[in-house]
Amino acid sequence: MNDTTSANLQSAAELPLGLSGEERRIGNRYQVTRLPRKGRTAGRFLAKDVSTGEDFVIRQLSRSELSPGVSLRMECEAEILRKLRKPWLAGVREVVRDSDQLYVVQPLAPGTALHERLLCGPLELEDCLVVGRCLLSALKDAHAQGVLHGAVRPANVIVVDGSPLHAAVLTGFSLGYHPDPGSFAGEESLELALYCSPELAGALDHDVGETSDLYSAGIVLFECLAGRPPFGGSSVGAVLREHMTSRVPDLRSLGIDVPGALDELIQRLLRKDPRDRYQSAQAVLMDIESIATSLQRGLAESACVIGSHDRRPTLTEPAFVGRRHELDQLEKQIRQVVGGATRLVFLEAESGGGKTRMLAEVALRGVRAGMWVVRGQGTEQIGQQPLQVLTGIADHVAAAARSDPALGAAIYRRLGDHADGVAAVLPELAQALGWKVSGIAGPEAFAETRNIQALAALLDALGSVSRPALIILDDCQWADELTVKLIAHWQSNRSGPAATGPPAMLLVAFRSEEVGADHLLRRLRPDLHLKPAPFGAEEVRQLAESMAGPLPAEAVEVIARLADGSPFMASAVLRGMVESGALEAEPDGWRVEPMALANLQSSTRAAGFLSQRIDLLPQDSVDLLTIGAVLGKEFDLGLAARLMGMSGSE
């Protein structure tokens, strides 16, 4: 049996259904050479055309299980695919009716099933892009003819032998027949569930369309790079629940070295709501081509704006755009730390300036570089505990140590005499890690100095030479004086010729408008101090089109003017334009409604525009927003409901 046979019959075995190959012909033309396994709802087997000697894969379906409409659709789609001759698509030769059976005859694509190839491990990035190009090209051509695949998975992608890969072929079109994964037995049902979109599985009440195929393609691309699908489980039900409820991990968060744009592309393909995914294979293909071109030019990161070519009827979340200069500087700092240096970095931005998205991007790049990323965040509240910003750090460390007990023991060893001091300030961390501490404290007069020294030692203990730490302290505009003293002490100990400790980066982020000239943070001198500039008109356009696809120039101009350089406001203005009817989706793209747009343009200030958006909301929603503004980051839905006199479900 060659690789081609294995590829197309990877789950079949030589178990005849009471017939030998010599006794069975289909349509008086195709001689069966290998029969399907017993118990399969839709069997596949090999056959040879007795007149030409060509080999084919034949899919067998019982006509009694097909409604007349499904049967007619299968024959119609088969005829479309028969005429569709593309190098990346193995279509259909014909559909044969024989007694109570229906046989779909498909060409046997030469090569190895991607499923078999992945048993040897993940693909190289360049090979994955080849698979992506061919897979999306096939879907683009099929979708253009109104044909959905319905079963995109590695078993139905044939890669041409050799390394590097240079071609892949999509086969195994379902032709409109979509059985419930639960109707299959054992491994076959699990395989179907692993690559099945929520709406195709019936777990989501939404029409099955092109975005279902794109979701499955996203899982295939994820597996090509990670070596496993994003979701798993021991039963069909468990897998389908994962599809509906679990977040798809960023590939870079798994330590996989891929361009950020490709990571975002796969994330968008795998959105739960079909309306939030890419809407066309053509748009995905254009983005993959852009990423591949950047790599061919030697660029590690592509300037591709994910989704900007996608014609969408609804808006989706914006892609990460711009900030190339700032990210290049941060990337340089990361490389230096991985090389053994220690760095203190400040990142400040106005509210809505994109600080949070930048921190998320830096964290992913840190993981990709082999760093351990831990994060703490300040909160705005009266009477907060000192060093509150470190709570997130402690929670992160405790969670990591629960899954890797050796980590907690290693940190304890690195702390040495400072373990008691850390336990005094962060008792929950010491308890979670099971540290045995003496409980003996020094004189109260030296408590502050002792605590700062102990916590600085903790920050040092998080990393090692082989795995430096990237410690992110966000929203430090709310950090207390003791936290700022800790940062200063840590920097002082880690600079100069007598510096000790493993390499690390401490990244301190805060809002510019809340850290005045006399703030304690202003007295520190970080190794790098970043202040991202407001978005220009081009960056605003990129952000808006990552949400909507191509937009009229008139709409982009209004968004740029009202946003005033704020990424947050740019997305809010675009959503407001759609909600107010100033921007309407049509089959061939977005259209500006002049009168509604004129009303918006009368709001010369962004605050006035947001006020108009709020006026569109029901009163209960306005009340909830008001309570949320008062509670800030301490917002709790139960508390807000009680204050409104409503139940949580309402």
pLDDT of residue 566: 93
pLDDT of residue 312: 93
Structure tokens at 557: 């101009």
Q: For 607-627, what is the mean pLDDT? A: 59
Structure tokens at 243: 């599809």
Complete edge-to-edge strand list for the sheet that includes strand 112-113: 112-113, 157-159, 168-170
pLDDT of residue 554: 93
pLDDT of residue 642: 61
Which is more confidently placed, 218 or 499?
218
pLDDT tens digits, residue range 136-147?
A: 999 999 999 999
The pLDDT > 90 percentage for the chain reads 51
Q: For 439-465, what is the mean pLDDT? A: 78
* Torsion sign, CA atoms 209, 213, 219, 222: negative
pLDDT-derived band of residue 639, with 50, 70 and 90 as boundaries?
A: low
Structure tokens at 334: 């990361």
CB–CB of 530/329 below 8 Å? Answer: yes
pLDDT tens digits, residue range 313-356?
A: 999 999 999 999 999 999 999 999 999 999 999 999 998 899 99
pLDDT of residue 101: 81
Which is more confidently placed, 570 or 64?
570
CA 577, CA 592: separation in Å to the nearest integer? Answer: 9
CA 268, CA 272: separation in Å to the nearest integer? Answer: 9
156: which DSSP letter?
A: G
Query: Phi/psi at 409 (nearest 5 deg)?
Result: -65, -40
Domains of the chain listed by start with CATH number: 3-107 (3.30.200.20), 113-296 (1.10.510.10), 325-530 (3.40.50), 537-615 (no CATH)
Structure tokens at 47: 């056959």
pLDDT of residue 622: 57
Q: Is the model's pLDDT at 619 over the cut of 70?
A: no
pLDDT tens digits, residue range 377-423?
A: 988 765 567 788 898 999 999 999 888 888 888 998 898 888 888 88
pLDDT of residue 63: 77
Instruction: Using alpha carbons, list the distances in angstroms from residue 572 to 99, 542, 579, 609.
Output: 61, 14, 10, 9
Q: For 436-455, what is the mean pLDDT? A: 69
CB atoms within 10 A of CB 183: 13
Which is more confidently placed, 4 or 133?
133
Query: Which candidate, 31, 258, 244, 316, places its Cα nearest to that of 124?
Result: 258
CB–CB of 260/367 below 8 Å? Answer: no
* Torsion sign, CA atoms 79, 83, 86, 90: positive
Q: What is the pTM of this model?
A: 0.83
pLDDT tens digits, residue range 178-217?
A: 665 555 445 667 888 899 999 888 888 888 899 999 999 9
CA 542, CA 318: separation in Å to the nearest integer? Answer: 9
Percentages (nearest 5) of helix, strand, coil residues in the chain: 50, 15, 40
Instruction: Using alpha carbons, list the distances in angstroms from residue 156 to 46, 151, 441, 458.
Output: 15, 8, 66, 51
pLDDT of residue 638: 61
Q: Where are the alpha helices (DSSP H) in 270-381?
A: 281-296, 324-338, 355-368
pLDDT of residue 498: 62
pLDDT of residue 405: 87
Sort 124 into a burial class: Cβ within 10 Å, 0-12 / 13-18 / 19+: middle
pLDDT tens digits, residue range 88-109?
A: 998 888 888 877 788 888 888 8
As beta bridge partners, residue 169 has 158
As beta bridge partners, residue 103 has 60, 96
Distance of CA 326 to the CA centre of its chain: 23
pLDDT tens digits, residue range 238-273?
A: 888 889 889 999 999 998 999 999 999 999 999 999
Q: In which element (H, E) is residue 585 found?
A: strand 583-586
Q: For 226-231, what is the mean pLDDT? A: 94
Encode 79-93 in three state secondary structure: HHHHHCCECCECCCC
pLDDT-derived band of residue 445, with 50, 70 and 90 as boundaries?
A: very low
Q: Is the model's pLDDT at 126 over the cut of 60?
A: yes
CB–CB of 541/575 below 8 Å? Answer: no
CB–CB of 94/82 below 8 Å? Answer: yes
21: which DSSP letter?
A: G
Question: In whole numbers, what is the pLDDT of the chain averaged over residues?
Answer: 84
Encode 423-465 in three state secondary structure: HHHCHHHHHHHCCCCCCCCCCHHHHHHHHHHHHHHHHHHCCCC
pLDDT of residue 17: 43
pLDDT of residue 587: 87
Angle at 518 between CA 512 and CA 519, to 5 degrees: 55
pLDDT of residue 323: 92
The lowest-confidence range among 251-265, 489-503, 516-530 is 489-503
**315: Cβ contacts below 8 Å, ≥ 6 apart:** 547, 548, 574, 575, 578
The lowest-confidence range among 1-5, 26-30, 88-92, 202-206 is 1-5
pLDDT tens digits, residue range 152-177?
A: 999 999 998 877 888 999 998 888 76
pLDDT of residue 359: 95
Which is more confidently placed, 497 or 569?
569
The lowest-confidence range among 55-64, 239-248, 363-372 is 55-64
